[in-house]
Amino acid sequence: LGLIFLLLARAIGAPSGHQATSPVAAVCQWLGYINLGLAAFNMVPGYPLDGGRVLRAILWWISGSADRATRWAALTGQAIAFLLIAFGLGRFFLGENFGGLWLAFIGWFLLDAARSSSVQLNLTTSLRGRRVADVMESNCTTVPGYLNLRDFIDEYVLHSGSRCFVVTNNHQTVGIITPEQVRDVPRENWEQTSVQSVMQPLASVRSVPPDMPASEALELMAREKLPQLTVVAGGKLLGLFSPTQVLRFLQIYSGHGEQPQGKQAA
């Protein structure tokens, strides 16, 4: 795009190395410079910029390890981000004003992106080989649908470490409810609001099989912006898969090769 706009500016009336002679040529000239500058910045070898991805590919080719290459590229991205922040702040205190702050802001953005890439890599590595059945919360507490929210909080949530509550009506599972859903209801209305009126109907919750890779389930939740997934096999609800449960799983089993007891999928 940068080259196209510069060629267009030259054809309209902006000789190479000179100022444009018309407003249209000036706009094309500046668009050319801006796009070339953006391309150059994106080729900085700091992951996850395009240049960082190129560096990652080279390191992957040299080391033979995608994880190690991603980690090195992310660390390089963080180092470059710190340099940009320091350089930008230095320019700001030397009197560059907004220009220096802008560079520091870009460095901060790159630092945040590089750290996010490292976190994503650690998450993917920790969940490698794990299935939804290994991570899900299977010991879901059964709650009657007629119960009001005040009693639900007092009798179930406060006395249980569980975040998986299955709502039943006439011994039939009709939905699920989480403490987050209760927070949306004003506290003064808890006694007049039933669990069944707040729950998420089971038919409206996206379900996944227990043998689905846990990383794929997380990607599905992120892509479709889902708060949780139900785990179903043979028409039977087996448990609940949520980011909270994934974090809890990683805190306990991260770095260990063994599967948690009692969670082996059939």
Name the residue with higher pLDDT: 169 or 261.
Answer: 169
Q: What strands lie across the sheet with 229-233, from one edge to the other? A: 207-208, 229-233, 236-241
Confidence of residue 56 (pLDDT cuts 50, 70, 90): confident
| Average pLDDT of the segment spanning 211-219 | 84
Residue 190 tokens, joined: 């808890």
CA 61 centroid distance within chain: 27
Among all chains, which residue has been given the structure tokens 């996010």? 116
Measured CA to CA, the distance from residue 115 to residue 38 in angstroms comes to 22
| pLDDT tens-digit readout, 135-193 | 887 777 888 988 889 888 888 888 776 677 888 888 788 888 888 788 888 888 888 88
Q: What strands lie across the sheet with 141-144, from one edge to the other? A: 141-144, 165-169, 172-177, 200-201
Q: Which helix (H) or strand (E) holds 238?
A: strand 236-241
Helix intervals (H) in 64-178: 66-91, 98-127, 132-135, 149-152
Measured CA to CA, the distance from residue 102 to residue 90 in angstroms comes to 12
Please tell me the predicted confidence (pLDDT) of residue 14: 62
On the 0-12 / 13-18 / 19+ scale of CB atoms within 10 A, 225 is exposed
Among all chains, which residue has been given the structure tokens 């709650």? 143
Please tell me the predicted confidence (pLDDT) of residue 25: 81
Confidence of residue 257 (pLDDT cuts 50, 70, 90): very low
In one letter, which amino acid is 210? Answer: P
Judge contact between 178 and 228, C-beta under 8 A. yes
| Average pLDDT of the segment spanning 228-257 | 75
Q: Quick check: 256 pLDDT over 60?
A: no
Q: Quick check: 36 pLDDT over 90?
A: yes
Q: Which helix (H) or strand (E) holds 237?
A: strand 236-241
Measured CA to CA, the distance from residue 113 to residue 119 in angstroms comes to 10
Judge contact between 5 and 32, C-beta under 8 A. yes
Mean pLDDT of the chain: 81
Confidence of residue 226 (pLDDT cuts 50, 70, 90): confident
pTM: 0.53
| Average pLDDT of the segment spanning 239-250 | 79
Judge contact between 153 and 183, C-beta under 8 A. no
Measured CA to CA, the distance from residue 83 to residue 106 in angstroms comes to 11
On the 0-12 / 13-18 / 19+ scale of CB atoms within 10 A, 234 is exposed
Judge contact between 125 and 67, C-beta under 8 A. yes
Residue 89 tokens, joined: 């702040």
DSSP 210-246: TTSBHHHHHHHHHHHT-S-EEEEETTEEEEEE-HHHH
